[in-house]
Copies of this chain bind each other. A is one copy, B any other.
């Protein structure tokens, strides 16, 4: 059937990676290669090419945001959340990252034969609770069932539609030398909450995922006329991958300081035990904001006073945009020397979201 359309051949060198590896889904270099060499060139259009967390659409003069994510996290339930609330918050956050007000979600479930109905019930209840908390409505859906051994309990896709009411352009391309980089709280909790369960690690305190909806906070920043150049949530690949992607697309060099990056003691401890770097660990309620220095202090104030119960904000300035450049991210380490913070090349934590 499709022969007539098959003239272009697959551009990824077959001898190098002939098969999909877990790392193709990890948010690092191989994910990037898949996207840049297969997906974006094939679907090639101006909206997709912006490479943002959500697509910006204009329908009859109204700006909308549109974004999709599948959730395959394992285990389904973890301290601080579950696949259901994660699937709502994650997609709400992608809408928030273009400054949109989230309105509607679709929910598509892929269930594995043999899943306890009680588990499905708990996940669906959690989704509805999260949707109410994030002020979105779940308005359409789909359910598929696959044979035992061809899925893993539940996979969830949520796709979100939001409305863009501001007139700023929030995109990696807007990032400029001199911009201050702010994170809204401590890093690494989502990833380490999952890993602690998987590895059976016990700490004095339980590490809880930071999963939370971010749209309200972003809308408050916009309402206060903060000039926002770029927003990016720190999911797969963590802070390091997000900064590398933005630096590359914007064509700038970025400098951050290790001493300014907030990581809870228990998270730091768990990372050390497992040989992981918190800069690369996934978060589900953390994002970076790029603002001109004139707006940095007000941004911190608004974040500090944000009154969401689900979002404990201890915002920090972690670095700045140094200059126009080739996309280099460097970090002043605690013990002195600078080092290059590269994009993740392998797979650190599979199935984290």
Binding site for B on A (CB under 8 A): 1-2, 5-6, 8, 10, 12, 14, 17-26, 31, 34-35, 38-39, 42-43, 45, 47-48, 54-55, 57, 59-60, 62, 64, 66-72, 79-82, 85, 103-104, 106-118, 120-122, 124-129, 131, 137-147, 149-152, 155, 157, 159, 161, 163, 350-351
Q: How many of these chains are in the complex?
A: 2
Contact status B81-A114, CB under 8 Å? no
CA–CA, A14 and B47, complex, Å: 47
In the bound complex, what is the Cα–Cα distance between A163 and B58 (angstroms)? 12
The answer on a CB contact under 8 Å between B60 and A106 is no
Please classify the interface of chain A as helix (H, G, I), strand (E, B), loop, or mixed, using the class held by over half of its residues. Answer: mixed
Q: How far is the CB of A5 from chain B (nearest CB, A)?
A: 5
Bound-state Cα–Cα, A57 to B24, Å:
35
**Known contacts A43-B131, A48-B140, A55-B104; 13 further A-B pairs (Cβ under 8 A):** A18-B118, A20-B113, A22-B113, A42-B124, A43-B127, A45-B138, A55-B140, A57-B161, A64-B161, A66-B139, A70-B144, A110-B155, A161-B161
Q: Are B143 and A47 in contact (CB under 8 A)?
A: no
- A183 CB to closest chain B CB (Å) equals 23
A288 to chain B, nearest CB (A): 20
Q: Check B20–A144 contact: CB distance below 8 A.
A: no
Q: In this complex, which of A113, A120, A144, A163 has the most chain B Cβ atoms within 10 angstroms of its Cβ?
A: A144
CB-CB nearest in chain B for A24 = B145
Q: A55 to chain B: which residues have CB within 8 Å?
A: 104, 106, 139-140
The chain B residue sitting closest to A165, CB to CB, is B60
If A6-B122, A120-B38, A140-B54 touch, does A111 touch B24 (CB 8 Å cutoff)? yes
Asked if residues A140 and B66 are in contact (CB atoms below 8 Å), the reply is yes
B104 close to A57 (CB less than 8 A): yes
Contact between B31 and A143 (Cβ–Cβ < 8 Å)?
yes
Q: For A19, what are the chain B residues with a Cβ–Cβ distance below 8 Å?
A: 113-117
**A110 cross-chain contacts in B, Cβ below 8 A:** 70, 72, 110, 155
